[in-house]
Amino acid sequence: SIDKIPRAPPDRILGLTEKFNEDRNKKKVNLTVGIYKDAWGQVTTFPSVAKAQRLIDADLVLNTDLSYLPITGCPDYSEHVLNFLFKESCPLSGPKLLKEGRVSFTQTLSGTGALAVASKLLALWVSQTVWLPQPSWSNHRNIFRSNGFTNVKEYPYYKDGRITVEEWLDHLRSAVDKNSKTRDCILLHACCHNPTGLDPTKEQWKQILDTIHELGMIPIIDMAYQGLESGNPPKDAYLLRLCLDESLYKSWPHGLFVCQSFAKNMGLYGERVGSLSVVTPPFQPETKDNVDSQLKQIVRSIYSSPPGYGSRVATMVLSKSFLKMQWYKDVEFMVSRLSQVRKEMHELLEWPSLIDFDRQHGMFYYTGLNPKQINALRNDYSVYMTMDGRISLSGINDCNIEYVCKALKSVTKT
Beta-strand runs (E) in 58-213: 103-108, 129-134, 151-156, 158-159, 162-163, 185-189
**At closest approach, how far in Å is the CB of 58 from ligand LMR?**
32
Q: Would residue 27 show up in a list of annotated catalytic residues for this protein?
A: no
176 Ramachandran zone, left/alpha/beta (phi>0; psi -120 to 50): beta
**At closest approach, how far in Å is the CB of 36 from ligand LMR?**
11
Which is nearer to ligand LMR, 211 or 226 (by Cβ)?
Answer: 226
- Out of 20, 34, 120, 187, name the contact with ligand LMR by CB under 6 A: 34
CB-CB contact of 29 with 403 (8 Å): yes
Q: Would residue 222 show up in a list of annotated catalytic residues for this protein?
A: yes
Q: How far apart are CA 15 and CA 367, in angstroms?
A: 20
In the set 131, 199, 205, 222, the catalytic residue is 222
Q: Would residue 264 show up in a list of annotated catalytic residues for this protein?
A: yes
- Out of 77, 137, 157, 249, name the contact with ligand LMR by CB under 6 A: 137
Give the interface size with ligand LMR as a residue count (CB under 6 A).
6
Q: What is the DSSP string of 28-75?
A: -EE--S-----TTS-----HHHHHHHHHHHH-HHHHT--SPPPTT--H
- Out of 15, 17, 28, 33, name the contact with ligand LMR by CB under 6 A: 33
- Please list every residue from 101 through 120 that binds ligand LMR, using CB under 6 A: none
**Residue 194 interacts with ligand LMR (CB under 6 A)?**
yes
**Length reported for the chain:** 414
**Residue 139 interacts with ligand LMR (CB under 6 A)?**
yes
Upstream peptide bond of 352 is cis (omega within 30 degrees of 0) = no
In the set 264, 288, 327, 388, the catalytic residue is 264
In the set 137, 168, 252, 327, the catalytic residue is 137
What Å distances lie between residue 306 and 67, 71, 79, 103, CA to CA?
A: 11, 7, 16, 19
Which is nearer to ligand LMR, 46 or 137 (by Cβ)?
Answer: 137
- Please list every residue from 368 through 407 that binds ligand LMR, using CB under 6 A: none
**Residue 267 interacts with ligand LMR (CB under 6 A)?**
no
Farthest CA pair distance, the chain: 64
Residues binding ligand LMR (CB under 6 A): 13, 33-34, 137, 139, 194
> Would you name the residues annotated as active-site residues?
137, 222, 264
